[in-house]
A and B are shown apart, each in its own frame.
Chain A
Amino acid sequence: MKKYYIILLLCSLSMVGCSEFDEDINVNPNIPSEASGTQLIANAQLYLPSLSSSPQGEFLAQYLAETQYVGVSLYPEGSTSFYWFYEGPLMNLQTVLNSEENLSGAEGPVANQIAVAKILKAYFYWNLTDRWGDVPYLEALQGADNFTPAYDTQQSIYLNLFELLKEANDQIVAGSIENDLVYGGDMEKWKKLGNTIRLLMALRLSEVDEQLAREEFNAALSDGIMESNADNLVFRHLADANNQNYWYEQVIDRNREWWALTENLVEDMKPVNDPRLEVYGDPARESGEFVGMPFGETEALGTEEYSLLGSDIIAQDAAVHLVTYAQALFAIAEAAEREWISEDAETYYNMAVENSILQWTGSTEGVDELLNQPGVAFDPDNAIEIIAEQRWIHLFMHGYEAWSEWRRTGFPDDFVQPDGRPVPTRLAYPDNESFNNSDNYEAAVDRQFGGDDSIYGTVWWDK
């Protein structure tokens, strides 16, 4: 107190010292002023399950139907925000990439930290552009330097991401990194992941630029992709409410039995005794049988009569499968069928189905029987469709990815049109972009969709 009167007196008499405060008074003691690269990467990894765990994705791929509050599965027009991609994982990753000079090698080789940041950045952007179309890329993530980033075309984003993934592949050196929630710092796995993402991205261009697709596909393949399910990009939730599965929170914590397996899914799997069905769902409580719910009914049908989500799917510590060996195998099978590579499509198709079952059930029991079932057994005359059908079953619960593959291939071709509304072909941009970034938003909408930011616009690769 005496101190303040001395200051007051000095201040009054001389105006000296009025504006000089204790040095640390405006230093925030409540948050860290520094972060290590791997801690920022780890935080970005926490967003991985959000790429898949969302009812919207499951409805777009028609894996799940709504038992109550039917609404979102009827495909109403409406915007979906992508801000979380940028504000969350991408900004953390970009901060790592921007601070390459200052990263500490104590948490693993800096080159590897950078490589991991690039692979994850590419993965998040890939998901982003596939859902919305053109999005800000080059001018994005610059903070105060650019609050209104221009939208880049999907084509240029793909090209940039291919480049980014190549850089990552090329710069990985020996030595693991710390704080890696996904691969425990194993850089070999990161390398394979980066190339697998590139492979799958390349396949996505099959309809729009086959030559580029084929080149990138082969380049990725030769750089080395996943070799077993152990290489999968999986986010493992923990049996801890801080790190729990979205579906656990919804179904168990909040008592929301709002989702049942769709009729299409059950009807594809049940007649062929697909061993994955028992993982995907539970038998209906009422009949003890697997019963799918018709997708897109406008009235709620109930929870007793239909198969709800399986206990593994809704487990608190469920694993969320994002980029998988089986999906890569389906991609190779398709590439073989397209004659991008000189491999046997059937071999890779069978491996894909086998590894999918292994991934979902933990064993290969029932694989051979399943592969002999009509409609599942490889059919050279109908290879693209049968690959796509099985890929759809494999990608269960990763609805957005399955929906992208549906948009590309058109399979499965029996998706329901609820109330006559077709399945959307993209997500509409966030409303706030029309407030916050209006000129660029409007330019992007005009360029791609003739001014109508609708869920029925088509993205560049969707031909």
Chain B
Amino acid sequence: MRNKITLLLSMIAMLQFMDVEAQERVITGTVTQAQDGMPLPGVNVILEGTSTGTVTDFDGNYSISAETGEVLTFSSIGFQRVRRTVGAEDVINVAMEADLQSLDEVVVTALGISRDKKSLGYSTQEVDGEDLTIAKDQNVIGALGGRIAGVQVTGSSGASMGGTQKIKIRGVNSIGGGDQPLIVVDGTPISNANFAGSAGADYGNLGQDINPADIESVNVLKGPAASALYGIRGQYGVIMITTKKGAAEKFTVQVNSTYSVETTYDFMPLQNMYGGGSSLSFRTLPNGDPYVDLSVDESWGPRMDGTPVRQVFSFYPQDPTYGQLTPFVPHPDNIKDYYETGSTFNNTVSVAGGGEKTNFRISLNDTRIEGVEPNTHLDRNNLTVHADADVVDRVNVSTNFTYARNDAQRPGQGSEYGANYLVQWFQRNVDMNRLKDYRYDDGTFLHWNLRRPSSETGEVTNFNPLYWNNPYFNAYENLSQDNRDRFFGDIGITFDILDNLTLSGHIRADLFTQNIQERTAFGGTSLPSFSIGKYQNKEYNYEFLAQFDEEWGDFSLNANLGGNIWNRNYTYLYMATVGGLSAPGFYNIDASIDRPATSNYLLRKQVRSLFGLISLGYADTFFLDASLRNDNSSALPEDNNSYWYPSISGSVIFSEFLEWDPMSFGKLRASYAQAGSDLGPYETTMGFGVGTVYGGTNTLFVPNNLNNPNIEPSFAHSYELGMDLRFFEGRLGLDLTYYQQKNKNQIINLDVSGTSGYSSTTINAGLIENEGFEVAITARPVQFGEFHWDTNLNFAKNESMVVELAPGIDVYTYSSTTYSSVTSYLNSYEGMPFGSLVGTAYQRDEATGQILLGEDNKPLYTDQTHNFGSVLPDFTGGFSNTFVYKNWRLSGMIEFQGGGQFFSRSKMLAVRTGQDPVTVVTNDRGANVRDPLDEGGGVKVEGISAATGEPVTAYVDARSYYRNVVGRRIYEEWLFDASYVKMKELRLGYSINKYILGNIPVENIQLALIAQNPFMIWQEAPEGIDPSAISTGAQSISWYESGQLPSVRSIGLDLNITF
């Protein structure tokens, strides 16, 4: 037998040899990845029509014998097949494009189990690390925006300084809005906590401690079907992040440097005709000199016509203009002038390699960001290590860990901080450049709003700021500083006990210490103070997993059984001074004038889980998955703390039996699952609050939230139906998903009538139904020679309906905000879509819909309970395009949102304080609206008199109309549609491959021009308000804007070198 084979092989060899002798020669070349120029090992190189072939080596090199006119095909999983006809050349280099829609794509699913994508019965969408970082977003959550259908990312523009990015998967799934998905890095769940409030410094979401440059891929498990295996932590989806690993028997060094500059843009247009004050004429000093009313923080003053006047600076005896009259002129850019050019310098070095039995990758990152606000910065370092080794036969030991360090001095956000209040309250005549030197030599601080000068002496005697600090005082004296040390990762052991049975155990940890310090200095509007907090989190997961794989003929079976213990221990220590500081510049709790406020806190929680998953396949065509998880949470009532979470999903690859040429692949999938969510510890028993200590007496009080000993975990039931189609050999792909998610028994702190003695109670309440569909289209519309265009469109429409609240309760107040005694709410009403904006509206005539006017001809308004409808968008999506020509690559990413609305307090106040251009328009009588009524001025008001029912057309005083009524009380006027289309990222790259570089010991160089947030293509809301960046800090639903940071555009150079 053996002889026969030998003979046969010799004959084949002979035949080949003879062929060579005839016309053949040896063709050699290098196969690289088109995207990054990295050599591609393991590519099959086959002579078309024959069984002759070879495989590229670890440097992507190959050699094969072929004759002119023959065709070489290059193929590799995940890449598009390339055909090259052999011509006169001896060297054929090939750059392979990643396959648009690889049919054999392997994705990492729950618990890190790798699966063939085609076998999954639920929707999953993966993003490559490369695509994620085209414009070098520092925050992995932010980078996901627009890239995945049904995934919406929100954040403020302060995010450019490491601020918060929030993610919502398939709409709002929690009445309380806190529906953040679980983040899992290489199997380790990590905290995405946030220490920011809705105003003040935004310390950012902790998920950003992962360096985007280390990410191989991100897979978003959108519905419970995908995340059911995470049980009690999986209700709001899971973001699975897989980091890069080393390649076997290959050593690479990669250096990546990015430098970008950040500039502000999109300021709200403001008027430049009238300056500070409250009447058209100047006040005068005893000597008759006119002066600008420095006690007014509004711009309803005299016309800025250059009249010489005493301005605020002239009242400071230390000022060079002391006592002088200076021209009263506008400073059109006085807000813009405050902002600086920021910069980001990001450097990563990674070393990866491996031997036959070992594999490692180490990467080190250094990022330095200087903010656009003066005196702000963020420094960050990341060290990420992966290593594994086969210590003995069948036993592999591995570790992944990341150490991250953040150190920042951040700007405050919201109207009370930095310069954000200026569009709301300011004088158009104040020169920002004069405010910059905010301290005189003698230590006196310069502010722009003070008490009026004495009408006896003409001098200002009190130089404490009246309402607002000089923004530079805020920036340089009232500092917010924070730093964080973070360590997360795992060690694991995997034992291939049999060929088809693997056991593994992992210990996973996520440890961080967050420090936050805040200072309020002497000499501003607030009492000097200092606070310091130290927050420490320790989370451990102890994990065991058995995996069994077997195939019997057409049948395949994959079974997993595992257990997990999750243990969390969180403590903090917070102290703040009370009653002021004992000495300027001494920022310490010891400086507290009165008994400082202190608190120490300990949280402990444990969840114990068991789970199993079975996947069955038949003929690579029919697949069925079923999973079951049991969770036991220490935070739930003792006798009722064990819950089960099942899921089932199935798919049919109908293209296997339905032959239709243009369709290369077709799959139908369906799933049902339950996942859950529990609550924090200590929420099922009552205690007492510790009140103020009065002269040595400790007081105690009944807390305002009533805890509930009967609480149950909440359940999400999800149903999903979908179809994945590929046409024309993958050049067109279409993924469609319809889903319905019923979130039941939500654990919420429901606001109740305070007359019950409590302001809220923890209950299981309600049913939120989300229904929607997602479409992902991928296509290569054009491919012509060395040019091609890839396009990718994600579109998602979701409706969040509050079907049920609690018995007897038909409104849930998510949040409210009060300004000048006027309150607006974000409420959810039973039977209506989630998140109605509620506030004051115009009173309208029922018959005509016209505005009702009072006796003074000013509009009448309703009480604060008018429902303006949901704030949530109708649809969201992203549109990305890549154009490749030879070594050039142009990528762009557009994000869009249709519908949704918000209330803009900045716009309202800009009008109220006479800064908005609408307050200086010319009316139809040809006079400025600010001119006196008897000189033809005034705002034209049309409506119906509430008293007589007769139509009225009248002119009313502009200041009292805008300042006291419309700009103060009528929120309807300040509601804006949140639709937008935004260019989120742009990248123009050029790569230089090894074979161009020749003898230089460099594999590949890529240079790219990148831009983040370069411009808004279209928005419905007025200029100067960015509807894509409304929510601040930890606010999880965007519904009102106040003191928004200006938009920040980042443009830079990205250099990538691989050795």
Contact = CB atoms under 8 A, between A and B. Distances in A.
B751 interface: yes
Contacts of B608: 7-8, 11, 18-19
Nearest to A42: B699
A142 interface: yes
A336 interface: no
A25 interface: yes
Given A40-B702, A144-B706, A30 B602 contact: yes
Contacts of A147: 752-753, 756, 761, 808-809
Contact of B565 (A8, A28, A84): A8
Contacts of A304: 451-452, 454-455
A291 to B, nearest CB: 13
B632 A19 contact: yes
Nearest to B565: A4
B563 A431 contact: no
Interface of A: 1, 4-5, 7-8, 11-12, 15, 18-19, 21, 25-36, 39-40, 42-43, 46, 68, 71-72, 76-79, 81-84, 86-88, 90-92, 94-95, 135-136, 140-144, 146-149, 179, 181, 238, 240-244, 253-255, 257, 285-286, 298-300, 302-305, 430-438
5 contacts: A11-B608, A46-B691, A87-B758, A147-B753, A435-B811
Contact of A71 (B578, B757, B820): B820
B525 A255 contact: yes
Contacts of B783: none
Contacts of B864: 78-79, 431
A91 B755 CA distance: 9
A86 B691 contact: no
B755 A149 contact: yes
Contacts of B599: 30
B380 to A, nearest CB: 31
A143 B706 contact: yes
Given A78-B821, A142-B757, A438-B810, 13 more contacts: A19-B632, A26-B634, A28-B682, A30-B682, A87-B757, A143-B706, A146-B756, A149-B753, A179-B699, A242-B692, A243-B692, A303-B452, A430-B754
Contact of A8 (B542, B600, B632): B542
Nearest to B544: A8
The winner among A42, A71, A298 for most chain B CB atoms within 10 A is A42
Contact of A83 (B451, B604, B755): B755
Contact of B630 (A18, A40, A437): A18
Interface in B513-537: 525-527
A43 B706 contact: no
- B: interface residue count bin: 35 or more
Contacts of B578: 240-242
A94 to B, nearest CB: 7
A90 B976 CA distance: 42
Contacts of B544: 8, 12
B632 A25 contact: no
B601 interface: yes
A378 to B, nearest CB: 41
A254 B755 contact: no
B344 interface: no
Contacts of A71: 820-821
A136 B699 CA distance: 26
A358 B689 CA distance: 39
Given A1-B542, A147-B808, A8 B563 contact: yes
B594 interface: yes
A22 to B, nearest CB: 8
A70 to B, nearest CB: 9
Contacts of B634: 21, 25-26
Nearest to B637: A26
B754 A32 contact: no
Nearest to A139: B755
Nearest to A41: B699
A5 B563 CA distance: 10
Given A27-B682, A71-B820, A181 B702 contact: no
Q: Nearest 6 CB-CB pairs, A to B?
A: A83-B754, A241-B579, A28-B682, A43-B699, A91-B757, A435-B811
A434 B829 CA distance: 12
Contacts of B630: 15, 18
A26 B755 contact: no
B376 to A, nearest CB: 26
Interface in B839-871: 863-865
Given A8-B565, A241-B578, A135 B755 contact: yes
B466 interface: yes
Nearest to B577: A241
Contacts of B605: 25
Interface string B454-498: 111000000011100000000000000000000000000000000
A33 B702 CA distance: 10
Contacts of A81: 754
B697 A35 contact: no
A83 B593 CA distance: 32
A33 B687 contact: yes
A388 to B, nearest CB: 30
B691 A43 contact: yes
B171 interface: no
A76 B821 CA distance: 10
Interface in B738-756: 751-756
B681 interface: yes
A359 to B, nearest CB: 22
B688 to A, nearest CB: 4
A222 to B, nearest CB: 34
Contacts of B755: 82-83, 86, 135-136, 140-141, 149, 433, 437
B747 to A, nearest CB: 15
A361 to B, nearest CB: 25
A21 B823 CA distance: 45
A289 to B, nearest CB: 13
B687 A286 contact: no
A77 B822 CA distance: 10
A303 B460 CA distance: 13
A433 B863 CA distance: 13
B610 interface: yes
B642 interface: yes
B308 to A, nearest CB: 24
B757 A11 contact: no
Contacts of A4: 540, 542, 565, 567
B953 interface: no
B813 interface: yes
Contacts of A83: 753-755, 759
B610 A11 contact: yes
A36 B540 CA distance: 39
A43 B753 contact: no
A136 B756 CA distance: 9
B507 interface: yes
A219 B735 CA distance: 83
B606 interface: yes
B708 interface: yes
B455 A143 contact: no
Interface in B284-317: 295
Given A11-B563, A81-B754, A240-B579, A31 B759 contact: no
B250 interface: no
Contact of A241 (B465, B580, B693, B822): B580
A314 to B, nearest CB: 15
Nearest to B605: A25
A436 B752 contact: yes
A19 B642 contact: yes
B49 interface: no
A133 to B, nearest CB: 14
Contacts of A39: 697-700
A435 B761 contact: no
Contact of A238 (B593, B695, B699, B827): B695
Contacts of A253: 526-527
A15 B561 CA distance: 13
Contacts of B563: 8, 11-12
